[in-house]
Structures are given as C-alpha cells and as structure tokens.
Amino acid sequence: MPGGAAGAKAQAARRRRLKESYGLIATHELDVDHRSHMAKNHFQNGPYAWDYLVSIMREPVSRLQLREHDRRWDAIDILTDVGVSANTIVLLVTRIKAINAKRPAANRKDQTDCTEKLLECIFNCSKHFSETATIEYNAAAGSRKFELVAPHPLAGQRDFARCTSHYHLLWKAAVDAKLPGFHSRAAAPRQAQNMRQTLESGLSSFEDHRSPSERAHSAQQQFAGSTDFAVPRNGSPTPSLALLASAGHDVADRHGTITTTDFGLLTPDERAAAADEDGIEGEFECIYIFDADDTASVEIICDCCGGLGHIKRVCPSNRNRTRSIAYIIAALQKRQAQKEGRGPPRRPPARGQRAPFRQQPRRYSAARRSDGSRFTPRRDRGMSAEEGEDDNAFSAEHEFDGANGASSQSASSQNLARRAAAAAAAAAPSAVTLLPSLPLRSWRRDYRSSSP
C-alpha cells in the first residue's frame, strides 16, 4: 500500500470495493436471518460476508453426486448433444469442457480423460474416422500421436488441444465434401426416461400387493395427492386388457383386441365402471372401435381434456375449463390437415389404427383361444351307463327294438324315450346292454343305420 496521499486514495478505493461487494451480496441474499448475521458481524465487508455464506451453504461432495456427474460425463454423444456440422468437433469439445467444469475441483477430469472422451465419441459415431480414433485410443503411453512431452508440466498426458485441432480439420473437410453420412443435421432429442424412483408411486394393480384393508386405508389419503398421478410403464399396455376383461368387458376379452391405455393404472372400481357402465360420469368414458382390418381397440377418453389413455383424476389440464367435443374434433382435424400437408407419413399406421373406423366389425370370425387356435364349441354328448340313467334307457331301447325288428324312423325323440323307459322297467337287469360313451349324434346315426 503506497504512503502519503496515494495511500489514502488507495485505502478509500479499497473501502469502496468492500462496500460495493457487501451490497451486492446483501441484495441477492433472500434469507432474513443470514442478512441479519452479516449486518452484525461483517457489515460493509464483502469478502468476509462471502466467506460466511460459503462456510454455511457449501456441503461436501457425496458419492451420489459424483455418480451423477459420471453419468452425465458418460452420456456425452455427438448425435444427441451437438449434431453434425462443420464445427461438430469444436462444439463437442466445448460440451466436454462444460460438463467437466461442473464437477468438483478435486474430481475433475484431466487432459488424458478429456482426450479419450473425444476419441470415444468419434469412433462410436463415425465409421469414417473409427479406425484412426480407435488406434489412438488404445495406444500406450509413449507411442501416442497426441501426447505432451517434457519440459511440459503435464508431460505424459494426452495433448487435448492438438487432438481437437487434428480431428476438427478432418471432420470439417468431410462435411464440406458431403461424404456419405456427413450431411448437416441438428442434434437429435434424447429418449425420454421414466423418472419414477420408488415402487410405491402411481401403482394400483400390477404391483400393489397390499391387503384390502390396507388399500382402503390408503384410499382415505387420496385427497392429499398420493395417487392422483400416473407413472407410464415401459412396453405395450395391451396385456393390461386382461384386467378389463376380468371385470366383464366383452370386447377386451376378444382375441386380437389391442389398446394404448394402461388399464393397470386404474383402480378396480374404475375398471368395473369401464366394463359395466362405459365409464364414470365426469371422469372418463370407455369406448371401442374396429379399424379397416377388423382389429378391435379399447380406449378410455378423459372427460377433462378429451385425450386418450388417462382419466380426469390424473389429467394435467385445467379442470375448470372444459372442452366441447366439437372443439376437440376441430382441433384434431386441423392437426391432421397440417400433417397431411407435409406429405405422406414415414411410418405406416400401427396395428388397429388403419382408417376407416367402425363401431362394429364387418365380419365375425370364429372364436379363438389365447394361443390363436380355433375354438370348437361343446356339443351335447351321450353319457355312459355309469354316468347317468339316460344311457340305460337308450341301451334298453336298442335291445328292445332290435329283438322285435320293428322301429319307426319318424318317431319323435320323446316317444322313443317313453318306449325305452317302459322297456327298461319290464326287462330284467341282466338283459340291459351297456353301450360305450359315444356322442349323442353319433349314437343316433349308428342306431338308425342298423334299422331295416
């Protein structure tokens, strides 16, 4: 600090900087208790006030936080983070540095790790540069093409800057030459992930193994918002139609029926209402349609927003603003016109979604079992003598008519039964002939063919 007038001026400038820094910190600190403590102990002293806040709020890094940082580091990718352009390598390096800067200072990646991440992204994305990037990635220390040498303070580590410059020039030349696969395109969005962290959230059927009394006690807490949300499941929701079929829905029990609604997220009472009453007034409606291939689809429609696959209880839309059916249809027709104006869709419609749609199928096919084999309805069959008394009557009738040689083919079945009963009462038990267990229709056919 200089002396004299210059020293006094420097002291004044330092006091001004301390006051300005303290004012900046006090302005952005919203907690009243913290501001009160700083005013009493570190008033007009910005560095001391900052050290106080750091000592109170900064927590040591946990292993879970390090794992989260590692997950973000491992997820770096060219196609999903920066896309393909002439400056892809530069943008990728910027992304690597930004992710590394967010890590704690003591756990940041060094030059070798950053270079290896760059090489890994290149040979995982591009076949054109895969060979050279893989060779450099697997090269041992001392034989690497991009390596820092003495007297550099980081001698022995990879040279991140030279590697970036080398592959930037090669990548830019490939894009400018329009090599196959190097056409410019934006970064592709990442696939959405299920954010559910516990098994207890949003489950009502498939994974709820509580007793009925426990479920009834939990139902009393629904007003707190414990179950008024839905957690989507991975995979096709069509197997959940078995729950709706067990509640008595006929179309859901039909072979080949599909759905895009997860009925496992509904409560048993809601599924029963969907099967018996086609929904709950003010909550949802259950409908079924048939497409051009006669494939049946069962869906639920929200009474709040008119969307498919959820009910009003879990609908994210404003429940105070209803939408008329005509308004919903007009909005969907507008969206359909916009999509058709962009050209034909790149993918064909999914199964069960081929237009036109009908309320009833065009044809009724034979019923099938769950494995796809045809189902043959049960036919009436004649019981054996051990299974009932009817076969005793028919066997006695056969013996009686065969002995006398007189039988009328035009007699009704009721007359035959009466005559057989009378003959069975008059005949001795030993004279009754037991017939094998044959279908009734087959037995009558054999009996008539034996008549003269």
CA atoms within a 13 Å half-sphere pointing along the CA-CB vector of 119:
24
Task: State pLDDT tens for residues 333-359.
Answer: 888 888 877 777 777 878 878 778 877
Which range (28-32, 137-141, 352-356, 408-412) has the least confidence?
Answer: 408-412
Q: How confident is the model at residue 414 (pLDDT cuts 50, 70, 90)?
A: low
Q: What is the pLDDT of residue 382?
A: 42
Single pTM value for the model:
0.43
pLDDT of 15 higher than 80: yes
pLDDT of 440 higher than 90: no
pLDDT of 70 higher than 90: yes
Q: What is the pLDDT of residue 426?
A: 55
Task: State pLDDT tens for residues 220-244.
Answer: 444 344 445 566 667 788 888 888 8
Q: What is the pLDDT of residue 237?
A: 86
- CA separation (Å) from 175 to 92, 171, 184, 234? 15, 6, 7, 38
